[in-house]
Amino acid sequence: MRSRRLTVPTVIAAALAAALVPAGAAPPASEEVAELARRVEGAIVAVRSGSGPVGSGILVDAAGHVVTAAQLVPQGSAIEVELGGVSFPATLISRQTLADLAVLKLDRLPEKPATAPVTDPVVPELGSRVVVISAPQAGAHALSVGHLTSRRSANIIYAGLGKAELLESDAAHPGQLGAPMFDLAGHLVGVVTGVPTRTPATSGYAVSAATLRRIVSEGIPWAGLEAMLVKGEFAGILNLPQPAGLLVQHVAPGSPAEKMGVRGGTVPVTIAGDRVTLGGDVILSINGISVADPDAGEKIVALLRQLKPESPFSVVVLRQGQKVELKLER
């Protein structure tokens, strides 16, 4: 897999499309790739924060929400988003460090913004062609084409307590953090992430559009909390009083979870190749629904979606061997 840099609004030539395909594979029609780039490039942004590296992002709606990689926008940093050669200040709305995703909101909107919505439920097939377009520097885009090689559910719990879905492809690589991934029909299928993997460096991961939709659209009081589902042997090691719990990894400052008093982890370790942060609360139940319930995920998500601002909300956590009930004050 190789990539080329495009100066906006350069049209991708046939030779470029052919060069971007792995050896021995039939290239997609150059017109198909060129048309895709023309349609979506207006929604692709460059993201910078402080003195950190410039990354990429995608404008997903006319309200000014941008999805990018969490590591590009550290908590508390000033964020600038460049779109169409114009720089816009942005505010961090949600940051999911385990999934390496962040949602930003532009402080002011561009005129007639182009967007790449995450509402389309397209599920790409294994082996299908995917295109990643990044913004590695101001005024330029870089494009790479490859194949979707695997799909898997990561043991990452985000926002609405759903597991993040990861798409592996040979089109994505670490230098494209925050860049959107499209199928050849132009559907947004994912965003390139820095989630650690045990795969060769020639492969990269994107968080799927199905996961993006939930992170962007679910305005629930649970946003800002990240946790990992622990069960079986791991639950025993943590001395849980039930078969499963949610090990809290991170709590966003100012989030409802922080106001409730939920505590995140403090000690990062690596277990079986996965990064885990220990020392935080383990959530045992939410509004009376046990995390160990076989249908806990569906029940809790349904509960969170139906909560009204005045509704009572509480969790029971295991903290230093003791059960503690925490309530959200309305």
Tens-digit pLDDT string for the chain (330 aa): 443 333 333 222 222 333 333 444 444 557 788 888 888 989 999 999 876 678 999 999 888 989 999 889 887 789 999 988 899 999 887 777 767 888 898 999 988 888 988 766 677 888 899 999 998 765 678 889 989 998 877 655 444 445 678 888 988 887 799 999 999 888 999 999 887 544 444 568 888 888 787 666 554 445 567 788 888 888 999 999 999 999 988 887 777 788 889 999 999 888 766 678 899 999 999 999 999 988 887 787 677 767 777 788 899 999 999 999 999 876
- Burial class of residue 25 (count of CB atoms within 10 Å of its CB; 0-12, 13-18, 19+): exposed
pLDDT value at residue 173: 81
Q: CB within 8 A of 198, min separation 6: which ones?
A: 273
User: How many CB atoms are closer than 10 A to CB 237?
Assistant: 11
The pTM of this model reads: 0.67
Contact indicator for 122, 234 with CB cutoff of 8 Å: no
Strand 162-169 relative to strand 204-208: parallel, antiparallel, unpaired?
A: antiparallel
pLDDT value at residue 51: 63
What architecture does CATH give domain 1-218?
Beta Barrel (2.40)
Residues carrying CATH 2.40.10.120, the chain? 1-218
| Distance, CA of 50 to CA of 28 (rounded, Å) | 39
Contact indicator for 46, 56 with CB cutoff of 8 Å: yes
User: How many CB atoms are closer than 10 A to CB 281?
Assistant: 25
| Distance, CA of 135 to CA of 6 (rounded, Å) | 9
Within 159-224, strands assigned E span 162-169, 180-183, 188-193, 204-208
pLDDT value at residue 239: 93
User: How many CB atoms are closer than 10 A to CB 6?
Assistant: 18
Residues carrying CATH 2.30.42.10, the chain? 225-327
pLDDT value at residue 82: 92
pLDDT value at residue 162: 56
pLDDT value at residue 96: 73
Peptide bond into 113 cis (omega under 30): no
Contact indicator for 45, 99 with CB cutoff of 8 Å: no
CATH of 225-327, one of 3.40.228.10, 1.20.1280.50, 3.40.50.300, 2.30.42.10: 2.30.42.10
